[in-house]
Amino acid sequence: MPDWKIPFKLYIDACVEGLGAALHQTQIINDKPVEQPICFISRQIKETEARYGASQMERLCLVWALEKLHYYLDGTVFDVITDCNAVRSLLNMKTPNRNMLRWKITL
């Protein structure tokens, strides 16, 4: 059960086969910090998405996870944990293409 006063951690990862995300919180149990899973989601890659590069796939994963987990994340503090620095660059893009612009607006 989530504690709405504790920040969330959103782990995301993408590959040529699918997207995945795990939502966690570090809760205190028996006076020790324990990372507790809140929710896991995944889906297969669509045919058009299979043409995306690794960076674009990771960005897609973040936007998809935020849309799916909005119930937990809207109005809360959370960290995104990923193995791809390109996710951060999405917010700093000067001239994003149409997909990137739509994703940037979502964020």
Contacts of 52 (CB under 8 A, 6+ apart): 60
Q: How does DSSP classify residue 76?
A: S
Q: How confident is the model over 47-78, as pLDDT tens digits?
A: 999 999 888 898 889 889 999 999 999 988 89
Q: How far apart are CA 61 and CA 85, in angstroms?
A: 13
- Which residue has 């999405």 as its token pair? 90
Q: Return the domain boundaries, the chain.
A: 8-106
Q: How confident is the model over 12-24, as pLDDT tens digits?
A: 999 999 999 999 9
**What's residue 105's pLDDT?**
54
Second CATH level (architecture) for the domain 8-106: Roll (3.10)
